[in-house]
């Protein structure tokens, strides 16, 4: 069992530095991508405030399929290019959405979600999954959150697929 000393009451840079160190510790030497996704989802859920969903969708052929997550039940399959997750997966571009209801084609798996951050997970130059974070707060995710989560995923991407 891992016990991390990550405090939410610190600067965003320190918080994400600590999260990245914890993510490395959790995934180091573990070859099972699903187990690693499960632990990373739990880590993020535990230490990032104001989330109502944190997890992964895996690229399976031409669609995204629900992977390990924390939060309410979710959509199981998402077509590539559809919704915020599908847009991130098909373009390999982080999607930071302040108001999901204003996003064209938004898929409302949870009506309580108001903002979303989706980070593509790439391995060998190919998108293999996306990390999806939802919040019930509008405009919850900052540029610092986007940078921090992007660095976290880049650091452990090889352990996720």
Say whether pLDDT at 116 is over 70: yes
**pLDDT tier for residue 12 given thresholds of 50, 70 and 90:** confident
C-alpha dihedral (147, 104, 102, 119), degrees to nearest 10: -20
Mean pLDDT of the chain: 93
Q: What percent of the chain has pLDDT over 70?
A: 95
84-105 mean pLDDT: 93
Q: Write down the pLDDT at residue 60.
A: 97
pTM of the model: 0.94
Q: Write down the pLDDT at residue 50.
A: 95
- The closest alpha carbon to 82, from 73, 91, 74, 70, belongs to 91
Gap between the Cα atoms of 91 and 122, Å rounded: 12
Q: Write down the pLDDT at residue 109.
A: 75
Which are the contacts of 21, defined by CB distance < 8 A and separation ≥ 6? Answer: none
Say whether pLDDT at 104 is over 60: yes
- The closest alpha carbon to 123, from 76, 69, 59, belongs to 59
Angle at 132 between CA 127 and CA 134, to 5 degrees: 160
99-108 mean pLDDT: 83
């Amino acid at each position: 069992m891992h016990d991390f000393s990550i405090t939410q009451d610190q600067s965003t840079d320190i918080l994400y530095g600590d999260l990245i160190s914890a993510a490395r510790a959790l995934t180091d030497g573990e070859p099972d991508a699903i187990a690693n996704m499960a632990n990373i989802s739990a880590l993020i859920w535990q230490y990032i405030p104001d989330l109502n969903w944190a997890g992964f969708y895996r690229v399976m052929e031409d669609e995204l399929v629900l992977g390990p997550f924390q939060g309410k039940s979710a959509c199981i399959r998402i077509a590539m290019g559809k919704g915020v997750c599908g847009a991130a997966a098909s373009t390999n571009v982080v999607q930071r959405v302040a108001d999901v209801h204003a996003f064209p084609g938004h898929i409302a798996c949870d009506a309580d979600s108001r903002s979303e951050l989706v980070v593509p997970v790439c391995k060998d130059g190919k998108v293999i999954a996306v990390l999806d974070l939802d919040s019930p707060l509008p405009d919850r995710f900052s540029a610092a959150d986007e940078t921090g989560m992007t660095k976290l995923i880049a650091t452990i991407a090889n352990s996720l697929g």
